[in-house]
Chains A and B, each alone.
Chain A
């Protein structure tokens, strides 16, 4: 945890410096006719952030904050496994949206989570992961008129057929 506290503060300090630098693309000072320039607000706020990261690091050196006193790892083996399986699953879900549509990706994600991670029965996993996208489809596309990404071309016949039910 202690090392993590320094790394986090470091990353946030780098982010602050980047945002300060990016803010200077606009005027960061005061203009007599326009008031403070467009970059002033984010520039000075990022500056305060940078000072804060310094204070966080200083507190960590003096072992004042709870994470800097802790000797526990940020993520133990099980925590790391959870993060890879769960967050990895969500990541793949979002990556698949552009290929097999929001609904298709949702189906696969639900099945992966329920059957593989949740160890539910095959029947329950299949029922939930097939029914959910269908309910979502009719709710969003028909009732709310929100179109979700449909993925690549090969999904077209399926959605055309589903659309004939709506319209």
Chain B
């Protein structure tokens, strides 16, 4: 009951005129950002973060969270009409969304994506409201070993569930963690890893520099190279009547996907490093596995649109859970939100619920409001968004490059970082060609400054005995799960070999 009281006061806070205005503006901007290839919620939130210093902190984070939400809706629009995902979170949406559009059912695909996003968002916010206060109260007792065990679990999810080449994934994680260590050693205060003694490295490698380099420049180059300007947009005719009948059809044909995506997405989103992209890919896979007719997937099954779209919205809410309750970002986007909160003088973590209840519940209330407005704006302006997508890529691309450079400079106000960003962008372009996953590196550079001190403090507590991560009641099980996840690909390889041998024997 207490939660309901807090929630209603939070909803009232979110419905204040300035917040409501920022929510509508945020979801609209988010829809646009999510829709534009090469721009995702990470870039949008990163580039727009400094603008929010114009309004009070609570309103600022509500605005950024609304962008995050809107971007999850928007990604589907280009996945369906262009066949290229507007954001990595909408990659799985192309699998069935594009074939649907090719069959002339673009409108059904778009409506399914919108409805699924809304369902996923709503389910996850309810789960969030139930779990967040509970988790925060448990987390109040967490020490360094528990936090480090969580980090380990975060990285283990990439190795065990990421589905990419294992050595390349581990390399990417380590690279991000080492880059996070550049600058100063926090404990001894000594300069560390100042590459080639260039003074620009003394202030460390800001994670925005890597994120914009990878997601802004590298990914844009990759998009230009892989599409070669041959992007064809599919017409989508929308009418009020059509939307109503498509809504009915999408609910009928897509509800299994929606329910799988809503729940799976939320729990994958909670995992401190998984987030919306693996959440949506996994939900797509599970929906296909659970289907009676898996061969219809990839050919325009509405469930194939509903599952990833419900999942990415659900995961975005889920990723806020560890951010608010544990102080650990659940995704690159929440990492930036976390950075913003620190600048605004709010300490993320379990204490936030007891020290700043108005802020926390105002934000939770805004999730409900944002989700509703994202659906309304999405469904009513789909034709407008599609029209904007027809803007030639040769106008959009230079604009994104300009925004990346300016945003990268504004983040640290150092030209050294802009050059570094270019280097990261070019490297990311080539690494991507060789199937190196780069999301683990971006998350690792965010989590590195938390992971390293907690490891060192834990080892100091135990006087160097790593068993501290195994013999504590909460850290222990988390570490065991992490180790199992890391070993999972190995088990799979051995069992595959064994099976092959058996097959050749018989």
Complex CA gap A34/B419 in Å reads 36
Question: A41 near B452 (CB under 8 angstroms)?
Answer: yes
A10 contacts chain B at the CB level, 8 A cutoff: no
Complex CA gap A60/B422 in Å reads 28
Question: A113 near B193 (CB under 8 angstroms)?
Answer: no
A159 contacts chain B at the CB level, 8 A cutoff: no
Question: B406 near A49 (CB under 8 angstroms)?
Answer: no
Complex CA gap A86/B38 in Å reads 15
| Minimum distance in angstroms from B443 CB to a CB of chain A | 15
Question: B193 near A42 (CB under 8 angstroms)?
Answer: yes
* Dominant secondary structure of chain A at its interface with chain B: helix
Question: A30 near B401 (CB under 8 angstroms)?
Answer: no
Question: A22 near B422 (CB under 8 angstroms)?
Answer: no
Question: B422 near A91 (CB under 8 angstroms)?
Answer: yes
Contacts of A79 in B (CB 8 A): 225
Complex CA gap A137/B401 in Å reads 17
| Minimum distance in angstroms from B504 CB to a CB of chain A | 18
Q: Residue on B with the closest CB to A129?
A: B398
Complex CA gap A8/B228 in Å reads 24
Q: Mark A34-73, 1 if CB is under 8 A from B, else 0.
A: 1111110110011011001101100100000111000000
A74 contacts chain B at the CB level, 8 A cutoff: yes
Question: B435 near A36 (CB under 8 angstroms)?
Answer: no
Complex CA gap A65/B193 in Å reads 32
Complex CA gap A45/B155 in Å reads 13
Complex CA gap A38/B185 in Å reads 6
Contacts of A12 in B (CB 8 A): 171, 175
Contacts of A45 in B (CB 8 A): 174, 177-178, 181
Contacts of A55 in B (CB 8 A): 167
| Minimum distance in angstroms from A121 CB to a CB of chain B | 12
A122 contacts chain B at the CB level, 8 A cutoff: no
Question: B171 near A22 (CB under 8 angstroms)?
Answer: no
B467 contacts chain A at the CB level, 8 A cutoff: no
Q: Known contacts being A34-B460, A35-B459, A106-B402, is A140 close to B167, with CB within 8 Å?
A: no
Complex CA gap A118/B396 in Å reads 10
Q: Residue on A with the closest CB to B228?
A: A78
A94 contacts chain B at the CB level, 8 A cutoff: yes
A90 contacts chain B at the CB level, 8 A cutoff: yes
Q: Known contacts being A8-B430, A38-B188, A136-B406, is A67 close to B435, with CB within 8 Å?
A: yes
Question: B402 near A109 (CB under 8 angstroms)?
Answer: yes
Q: How many residues of A contact B (CB 8 A)?
A: 65
Greatest chain B CB density within 10 A among A52, A87, A91, A102 is at: A52
Complex CA gap A39/B185 in Å reads 8
Question: B192 near A39 (CB under 8 angstroms)?
Answer: yes
Q: Known contacts being A45-B177, A52-B171, A132-B399, is A35 close to B392, with CB within 8 Å?
A: no
* Dominant secondary structure of chain B at its interface with chain A: helix
Which one, A34, A38, A114, contacts B398 given CB within 8 A?
A114
Q: How many residues of B contact A (CB 8 A)?
A: 61
B293 contacts chain A at the CB level, 8 A cutoff: no
Contacts of B190 in A (CB 8 A): 26, 38
Complex CA gap A27/B262 in Å reads 48
Question: B435 near A66 (CB under 8 angstroms)?
Answer: yes
A166 contacts chain B at the CB level, 8 A cutoff: no
Question: B459 near A42 (CB under 8 angstroms)?
Answer: no
A148 contacts chain B at the CB level, 8 A cutoff: yes
Q: Residue on A with the closest CB to B188?
A: A38
Q: Known contacts being A35-B460, A52-B170, A56-B167, is A149 close to B415, with CB within 8 Å?
A: yes
96-129 of chain A: CB within 8 A of chain B = 97-98, 102, 106, 109-110, 113-114, 117-120, 128
B51 contacts chain A at the CB level, 8 A cutoff: yes
Q: Known contacts being A23-B193, A34-B188, A83-B225, is A106 close to B418, with CB within 8 Å?
A: no
Contacts of B426 in A (CB 8 A): 87
A19 contacts chain B at the CB level, 8 A cutoff: yes
| Minimum distance in angstroms from A42 CB to a CB of chain B | 4
Contacts of B460 in A (CB 8 A): 34-36
A32 contacts chain B at the CB level, 8 A cutoff: yes
Question: A90 near B422 (CB under 8 angstroms)?
Answer: yes
Complex CA gap A78/B193 in Å reads 38
Q: Known contacts being A35-B456, A65-B165, A67-B434, is A110 close to B171, with CB within 8 Å?
A: no
Q: Residue on A with the closest CB to B187?
A: A38
Contacts of B187 in A (CB 8 A): 34-35, 38
Q: Known contacts being A38-B188, A114-B398, A148-B409, is A19 close to B228, with CB within 8 Å?
A: no
B217 contacts chain A at the CB level, 8 A cutoff: yes
Greatest chain A CB density within 10 A among B426, B456, B463 is at: B456
Q: Residue on B with the closest CB to A27?
A: B188
Q: Known contacts being A35-B459, A52-B167, A56-B167, is A146 close to B175, with CB within 8 Å?
A: no
Complex CA gap A59/B308 in Å reads 32
A-B contacts, 15 listed (Cβ < 8 Å) = A8-B431, A36-B464, A37-B188, A38-B188, A39-B185, A41-B181, A41-B452, A42-B192, A45-B177, A52-B168, A83-B221, A87-B221, A90-B405, A114-B398, A118-B394
Could you list 17 further interchain pairs (A-B, Cβ under 8 angstroms) beyond the known A32-B463, A36-B455?
A: A8-B436, A23-B193, A30-B464, A38-B185, A38-B190, A46-B178, A49-B171, A49-B175, A65-B435, A86-B224, A87-B422, A94-B405, A102-B409, A114-B394, A132-B399, A132-B402, A148-B410
Chain B contacts to A: CB under 8 angstroms: 50-51, 53-54, 165, 167-168, 170-171, 174-175, 177-178, 181, 185, 187-188, 190, 192-195, 217, 221, 224-225, 228, 392, 394-395, 397-399, 401-402, 405-406, 409-410, 413, 415, 418-419, 422, 425-426, 429-431, 433-436, 452, 455-457, 459-460, 463-464
The 7 closest A-B pairs by CB, nearest first: A118-B394, A38-B185, A35-B460, A113-B398, A55-B167, A52-B171, A52-B167
